[in-house]
Chains A and B, each alone.
Chain A
């Protein structure tokens, strides 16, 4: 007969296999803990990444938009909700020349149709490569020279490859660049130069698109950087008051980010509180279960003691068993999370209604490892008291008469 070494690990595995329901319950608690802790970490990191990305990408002091579309521009930029809104062309030209403006550039937003014939509804953004100071430098890195006639640069979540073609309205466009993920609306946007955007807008109108001014020079927003020393809040206020009749309003991008940060802070506080509460609850339940199990198995440990095991060896056997439970649970929880997270990440990011950009797993590795370890070690920590009690009392259980 083949002899197997009866190491503490082997004894633990045998014991766990013999009590499958108890093992499943204990591991299930750890799996839930790992799922929530690691999930909370990924969620927090992704939301932080999204807000940080928004802070970097919304590099203008002010966005001038039509009155009533202040929320729409936030939705389009931060959350990828395709929007179309237009300023009067003549007023736009006047606004770009206002006192206090250091640099300004127009952008044209077109929302593709939401119809069964379209694979996805996207935001088309036309920009002026000569004057733009917000997206142009970034687009330049994806496609040097920017998109020319009949060319587009697509966001990371647009279903198109560089070199391929995508159809918008009546025309096919060649994809000349694909952007890195931003966690913002830019990921579901398509960028094209202003002339191409105006052509697209005309096709949009021909196909039934509504709400577009007839002057042919429509723009959606103006990105503005103010001169040094100009108070941007005052600048915005003056425009709101001075151009009230022209239905012009101002959005301050940094306030969008600040609002997102505020929302993020509240959400992360809830996540942190729930994670902490769950850890405490899980540790308490595990400690209780281990304590009950220790009472039930005290005689078994007494036998170990009678056969020559030291107190330390008994403690090692108990801790090994709980560590195995922890490892099985943590791996199961992390595995389940990976499946759920990767399957529903897009849905999650949309439903959160906030900028969302998951850092790479490599950059998260140290923290993920730490959180995984915290989950894994919850059972050994919870069983420590029981392990020490077993070491102290096991011998008595084997001595008790009439057992």
Chain B
């Protein structure tokens, strides 16, 4: 199993009281799997994604990525691992307004170590997500669907083994949402593991597995097998 979260919890202090964002959650994602997490706003989905992406340390529990417990790694080592192996697409627009589209896509190459600057060409990735013609544009000139495509291209730049996307189709119309989701299916078909948050029932149906989150608690839900043959739990 590429990613295993074991009984992770995350608590915050809010106005002096302890608030539990994620409580005793466990999940697994294998290579080539497309796994979705659903749940109401504020249920803890994004926090869970942040924990499994190595962006937030859990208060309790462990996250095992490719056999290594990333909750025990120091920031520099964790970033070295996360940069090339875990692609993360944040919720909402996340392109830097001061950079062109092509520079936004290339950005991850310059945030890690020099040795890690190998990867698929940015222009080729933009072509792959259908945004090749936007390379010289700036984010302010792009539509919501185009912004999302560029974000996906950026997350794929270093050919990650795990791609995490937080509501990647949240503000898109059904056609754009379906097209973007199609991209994720293609990526999963090529072998990458995908973990995403979505509210769209039509898209949830196309996932290999589904988790529901409510009040910080995660529950495995109905499971189906994609034609490509994902792991069945």
| A and B held together in a complex | yes
Pairwise interchain contact A403-B91, C-beta atoms closer than 8 A: yes
Interface residues on A, range: 20 to 34
Per-position binary interface string of chain B over residues 30-58, scored 1 when its CB falls under 8 Å from any chain A CB and 0 otherwise: 00000000000110011101100101100
Known: A1-B136, A395-B56. A309 touches B98 (CB 8 A): no
B45 CB contact (under 8 Å) in A306, A307, A311, A401 = A401
A283-318 residues at the B interface, CB under 8 angstroms: 299-300, 302-313
Chain A's nearest CB lies how many Å from the CB of B33?
21
**Chain A to chain B contacts (Cβ below 8 Å), 23 pairs:** A1-B135, A3-B106, A6-B107, A11-B99, A14-B99, A17-B98, A18-B97, A306-B55, A307-B108, A308-B82, A308-B84, A309-B112, A311-B75, A395-B56, A398-B90, A399-B46, A399-B50, A399-B55, A399-B90, A400-B46, A401-B46, A401-B47, A402-B42
The residue of chain A having its C-beta at the shortest distance from the C-beta of B95 within the complex is: A303
The residue of chain A having its C-beta at the shortest distance from the C-beta of B110 within the complex is: A6
Pairwise interchain contact B103-A303, C-beta atoms closer than 8 A: no
A7 contacts B by Cβ under 8 Å? yes
Chain A residues within 8 Å of B45, by CB? 401
Pairwise interchain contact B41-A1, C-beta atoms closer than 8 A: no
Chain A residues within 8 Å of B112, by CB? 308-309
A71 contacts B by Cβ under 8 Å? no
A15 contacts B by Cβ under 8 Å? yes
Chain A residues within CB distance 8 Å of chain B: 1, 3-7, 11, 14-15, 17-18, 299-300, 302-313, 395-396, 398-403
Chain B residues within 8 Å of A1, by CB? 102, 123, 135-136
Per-position binary interface string of chain B over residues 12-27, scored 1 when its CB falls under 8 Å from any chain A CB and 0 otherwise: 0000000000000000
The complex places the Cα of A309 from the Cα of B108 at a distance, in Å, of: 8
B76 contacts A by Cβ under 8 Å? yes
The complex places the Cα of A395 from the Cα of B94 at a distance, in Å, of: 13
The complex places the Cα of A6 from the Cα of B135 at a distance, in Å, of: 16
Chain B's nearest CB lies how many Å from the CB of A402?
6
Pairwise interchain contact A4-B111, C-beta atoms closer than 8 A: no
B146-176 residues at the A interface, CB under 8 angstroms: 154, 158
Pairwise interchain contact B103-A306, C-beta atoms closer than 8 A: no
B96 contacts A by Cβ under 8 Å? yes
Chain A residues within 8 Å of B98, by CB? 11, 14-15, 17-18
Chain B residues within 8 Å of A313, by CB? 79, 111
B81-97 residues at the A interface, CB under 8 angstroms: 82-84, 88, 90-92, 94-97
Output the residue of A3, A4, A399 with the most chain B CB within 10 A. Answer: A399
Chain A residues within 8 Å of B53, by CB? 306
Chain B residues within 8 Å of A303, by CB? 90, 94-96
The residue of chain A having its C-beta at the shortest distance from the C-beta of B12 within the complex is: A396
Chain A residues within 8 Å of B111, by CB? 304, 307-309, 313
Besides A396-B56, A403-B91, 12 other A-B contacts (C-beta < 8 A): A1-B135, A6-B99, A17-B98, A18-B97, A305-B55, A307-B107, A308-B84, A309-B79, A309-B112, A312-B76, A395-B55, A396-B50
CB < 8 Å A-B pair total: 91
B115-162 residues at the A interface, CB under 8 angstroms: 123, 135-136, 154, 158
The complex places the Cα of A6 from the Cα of B107 at a distance, in Å, of: 7
Pairwise interchain contact B83-A308, C-beta atoms closer than 8 A: yes
Chain B's nearest CB lies how many Å from the CB of A298?
12
The complex places the Cα of A2 from the Cα of B221 at a distance, in Å, of: 48
Chain A residues within 8 Å of B123, by CB? 1
The complex places the Cα of A273 from the Cα of B37 at a distance, in Å, of: 62
The complex places the Cα of A302 from the Cα of B111 at a distance, in Å, of: 12
The complex places the Cα of A7 from the Cα of B109 at a distance, in Å, of: 10
B193-231 residues at the A interface, CB under 8 angstroms: none
The complex places the Cα of A33 from the Cα of B158 at a distance, in Å, of: 45
Chain A residues within 8 Å of B46, by CB? 399-401
The complex places the Cα of A11 from the Cα of B45 at a distance, in Å, of: 31
Pairwise interchain contact A401-B91, C-beta atoms closer than 8 A: yes
Known: A309-B111, A402-B42. A395 touches B50 (CB 8 A): yes
Chain A residues within 8 Å of B50, by CB? 395-396, 398-399
The complex places the Cα of A310 from the Cα of B96 at a distance, in Å, of: 18
The complex places the Cα of A232 from the Cα of B26 at a distance, in Å, of: 97
Chain B residues within 8 Å of A306, by CB? 53, 55, 88, 90, 94
Output the residue of A299, A305, A312 with the most chain B CB within 10 A. Answer: A305
B154 CB contact (under 8 Å) in A11, A300, A307 = A307
A399 CB contact (under 8 Å) in B56, B83, B99, B109 = B56
Pairwise interchain contact B92-A403, C-beta atoms closer than 8 A: yes
Pairwise interchain contact A307-B56, C-beta atoms closer than 8 A: no
The complex places the Cα of A400 from the Cα of B46 at a distance, in Å, of: 7
Chain A residues within 8 Å of B135, by CB? 1
The complex places the Cα of A303 from the Cα of B45 at a distance, in Å, of: 18
The complex places the Cα of A107 from the Cα of B49 at a distance, in Å, of: 92
Pairwise interchain contact A7-B91, C-beta atoms closer than 8 A: no
Chain B residues within 8 Å of A307, by CB? 83, 88, 107-108, 111, 154
A398 CB contact (under 8 Å) in B42, B94, B95, B97 = B94
